[in-house]
Structure 1
Amino acid sequence: MDPHIIILGGFGLLILLVAWVPVLIKGLPLSLPIICIGIGMAFFLLIGEGALQPRNYPQTTEILTELTVIISLAGAGLRIDDPLKWRVWADTGRLLSITMPLTIAATAALCALALGFPWETAILLGAVIAPTDPVLAADVQVGPPRSGPSDKVRLSLTSEAGLNDGLAFPFTFLAIAVAIHGTQLGEWTWHWLLVDVLWRIVAGAGAGWLTGWLLAMFMFHSGKLSLASTGQGFVALGGTFITYAGAEAIHGYGFIAVFVGALALRSTQKEVHDYHVRLHDFTEEIERLLMMMLLVLFGGSLAGPLLDGLSWPMAFAGLAILFVVRPLTGMIGLIGSQMKSRERAVVSLFGIRGVGSFYYLAYATNQESFGQIDNAWTLVSFIVLVSILFHGMTSGLSMSWLDRRRELARRRR
């Protein structure tokens, strides 16, 4: 049989599994990402060779992960029913302004001082590891449109993942600048602060909001010519790509623009339109297919030499980043939050790492040379693997436990 026939058949089987597996594993401490990784490992072990290693193809890795992340960000923005008010989003602000910088600083210090990475690579690792992943966090995010206002835990994790993927970019650019200029401050520092931090964030948010508002006008307020009248879900992809490209064209952060644009699209109407649901559902389906493909390839690369360079110090550092640094910085950032202590603990623990981490690492690799970059790929791959396994097995149980505690508290009132 021709190889391409086998590939097509196998791909079709995987698509069916993506739809079927969530039903099979319902109630079990498993997740679809774990199953995808297992399938990838089993397949490539069966054929006797590992999949293509992402570190050897950074440009392809960057493109595939970029596409997956922006579609996931659009879906995250479309599913949030909560109003855009500070009292609702205050915890998100704490996670972004306090927890994320602390995580980057602690990770960079750990990698430089304990593992001996050059400072530019250590800073890059801080930027790569800090953002939580909107692609893999389905079990801890808010529900689809019309689910109603969500609890503080799900909203915090969804909105954090939606925004911190873009906010990792300034620190990625900082790592690139240090790789070029060294750690001594100079004119490049002002360029980084004014352009990479201030302008790109403001431009991304502004372009996203404007594009989202304009798309809403075309979708819902154009009479017989409205896009909503078509009922086509793939319009979500067109809007997402236009928003991303528009922000990048003015040197803004496209990731921020896509999430903010989706929020703007939702906020133009007080009630959720049927077309909002259609757009979200189509986006979610495409996101799952892309996620499946990437994680099967990731599982296949694990069957090869991806983790061959992992040492015990690197493994301990990776575990410390996941289970010490993130929980500790999360609890510090949420000081003053109205969430209960158990809710703050869950938010702090479930900073899932995944596709976004590979994107930033590939992006930086394509821009500049970094010392010990192979070890950086190994460490990030290990952290992502452990995160997918741990968070995938515990997220559903943890959220169910929190829901039961809330229900018991309501009954006691």
Structure 2
Amino acid sequence: MHVSGVDLAYLVAGVTLVLALIVPTLVQRVAISSPIVLLAIGLLLGLSPITDGMPLDMREHRAVIEHVTELAVLMALMGVGLAIDRPLRLRDAASLRTWSPTWRLLAIAMPLSVLGVAALGLVGGLSLPLAVLLGAALSPTDPVLASDVQVGGPDVEAGGDVPAEDAGPDEGGGHEERSEVRFALTSEAGLNDGLAFPFVYAALVLAAEGSGMSRLAEWVGFHLVLRVLVGVAVGVLVGFLLGKLYFRRKSELTRIAERGAPLLALAALLTSYGAAEVLQGYGFLAVFACAMTLRAAERNHPHHRNMHDMIARLELLLTLLALLYLGIALGHGLLGELTWWGAAIGLALVFVIRPLAGWVALSAWPRPAAEPGGLTRAERGAVAFFGVRGIGSIFYLAYAVGVLQTTVEAWLWATVAFTIVLSVVVHGVLATPVMRRIEAQEEARR
């Protein structure tokens, strides 16, 4: 009897839905993350004959992988933006200072990570464009897989609109939001997925023909500055308009938020992303900015929890699907092209490059730990270490290799997949005990 790959895909989708219901509950009380379980299940399926007819070649099905992972990251960015309780007022210096760890991780740790991975790629024999591409693909921390070290959903009862400097111990967010470690990792993951795009385009620009100065001007002026500004501006505008429409208008027709319409979050996601991409901005940044602005429109409205919960369910489904697929692909030989140098790059990123870059970024003229946005020495170490790599890296690689034609594509896939698996396992095992210890220290200081 012949079983088609499409039929098997339906089976995997069904299994994914079942797992989406039971896995988070099963692993809730143990020091192991859902992604580890899903990868292990996928690997077992991949080693079994059940999945022999599935389309598992990453190169052949690159476009499908690109769009599925793109949707997963978009859902995660919208969820993260809605979950952050701490206000961000761009014209308020005090508010900006409470986000100090975020700016440091984005401006210092992320470029250093790109440079570190790219340098190892060059030593291993990659061309400059491919080395930069590998560094860019592995640069963003992942909002999809880092839930164990991030804030939970929006705390709409705690008076989240209170400025962080003025907030008492029971104001400005729940326990998870008051954790500076969780806040730093969450806000970083929300922004650096969009900011990885300029580095990806740096690789594409390096591979293009033309003079060095003209390519540099194109990258700095268009890809690094203009597209970032357009993405953020579009997200803020869409979030502001939707917030006005759904939260502040008196018309019964437009106050859909009061009747609990969580599809508002999906509408905001699609509108901001589509508008930013049409206007040549970075859609990932637009979605995060839109979510933050929508949350600020009426910060403590209970509808934010409804929106976040719906987005979280969609995110979970897409994440589990991607992880199962990755695990099955591993069982079918995805790491067959992995070399010792590719494995060394992954190990170096997880254990050396990211922790060192994060430590440098957070330790230079640090903000006092007693102030909002300040971190103790132990907290700086935790933030520096927990730079989870995941679904975003798969998206960026799939996106870029669709443009760049290379003979080492299989090696790139194997290296990125190895790094993701390593990060999921290492960070997933350590997240629960480390965060318990850090948060116990935070409670003791209060």
TM-score, scaled to structure 1: 0.94
Which residue of the other structure, out of 19, 26, 40, is the alignment partner of 1:24?
26
Which residue of the other structure, out of 380, 387, 402, is the alignment partner of 1:344?
380
How much has 1:249 moved relative to structure 2? 1.1
Question: Which residue identity does 2:323 align to in structure 1?
Answer: L
2:161 aligns with none
How much has 1:5 moved relative to structure 2? 7.5
Which residue of the other structure, out of 285, 288, 302, is the alignment partner of 1:259?
288
Which residue of the other structure, out of 276, 292, 305, is the alignment partner of 1:277?
305
Question: Which residue identity does 2:221 align to in structure 1?
Answer: L
Q: Does 1:131 align with 2:140?
A: yes
1:164 aligns with 192
2:152 aligns with 143
Which residue of the other structure, out of 76, 79, 90, is the alignment partner of 2:80?
76
How much has 1:201 moved relative to structure 2? 0.4
Ranges of 4+ aligned residues in structure 1 off by more than 4 Å: 1-10
Residue segments in structure 1 that go unaligned for 5+ positions in a row: none
Question: Which residue identity does 2:212 align to in structure 1?
Answer: L
How much has 1:227 moved relative to structure 2? 2.3
Shift in CA distance, 62/6, structure 1 to aligned 2, threshold 3 Å: closer
Q: How many residues align?
A: 407
Q: Does 1:52 align with 2:22?
A: no
Q: Please give the root-mean-square deviation of Cα atoms over the aligned residues, in Å.
A: 1.8
| In 2, Cα distance between equivalents of 1:150 and 1:77 | 16
SS at match of 1:401: helix
| In 2, Cα distance between equivalents of 1:289 and 1:278 | 17
Counterparts of residues 280-299 of structure 1 (less than 5 Å): 280-299=308-327
2:437 aligns with 401
How much has 1:133 moved relative to structure 2? 0.4
1:380 aligns with 416
Question: Which residue identity does 2:71 align to in structure 1?
Answer: L
Deviates more, 1:28-37 or 1:342-351: 28-37
CA contact (8 A) 2:232 2:289 kept: yes
| In 2, Cα distance between equivalents of 1:194 and 1:152 | 34
CA contact (8 A) 2:179 2:439 kept: no
1:155 aligns with 183
Residue segments in structure 2 that go unaligned for 5+ positions in a row: 89-94, 156-172, 367-373
SS at match of 1:29: coil
| In 1, Cα distance between equivalents of 2:11 and 2:20 | 14
How much has 1:194 moved relative to structure 2? 0.6
SS at match of 2:45: helix
CA contact (8 A) 1:51 1:303 kept: no
Question: Which residue identity does 1:41 align to in structure 2?
Answer: L
Question: Which residue identity does 1:26 align to in structure 2?
Answer: Q
How much has 1:13 moved relative to structure 2? 4.2
CA contact (8 A) 2:45 2:331 kept: no
Counterparts of residues 174-323 of structure 1 (less than 5 Å): 174-181=202-209, 185-223=212-250, 224-225=252-253, 226-269=255-298, 271-323=299-351
Which residue of the other structure, out of 118, 129, 150, is the alignment partner of 1:120?
129
Which residue of the other structure, out of 370, 391, 398, is the alignment partner of 2:406?
370
CA contact (8 A) 1:118 1:371 kept: no
How much has 1:349 moved relative to structure 2? 0.6
| In 2, Cα distance between equivalents of 1:111 and 1:27 | 40
Shift in CA distance, 356/7, structure 1 to aligned 2, threshold 3 Å: closer
Deviates more, 1:47-56 or 1:136-145: 47-56
| In 1, Cα distance between equivalents of 2:197 and 2:7 | 41
How much has 1:317 moved relative to structure 2? 2.1
2:168 aligns with none
| In 1, Cα distance between equivalents of 2:64 and 2:80 | 24
How much has 1:362 moved relative to structure 2? 0.8
Shift in CA distance, 5/367, structure 1 to aligned 2, threshold 3 Å: closer
Identical positions, percent: 38
How much has 1:22 moved relative to structure 2? 2.0
CA contact (8 A) 1:121 1:373 kept: no
| In 2, Cα distance between equivalents of 1:189 and 1:13 | 48
Q: Deviations over 1:81-100 (max 9, x none)?
A: 01212121111000000111
How much has 1:313 moved relative to structure 2? 2.3
How much has 1:2 moved relative to structure 2? 9.4
2:103 aligns with 93
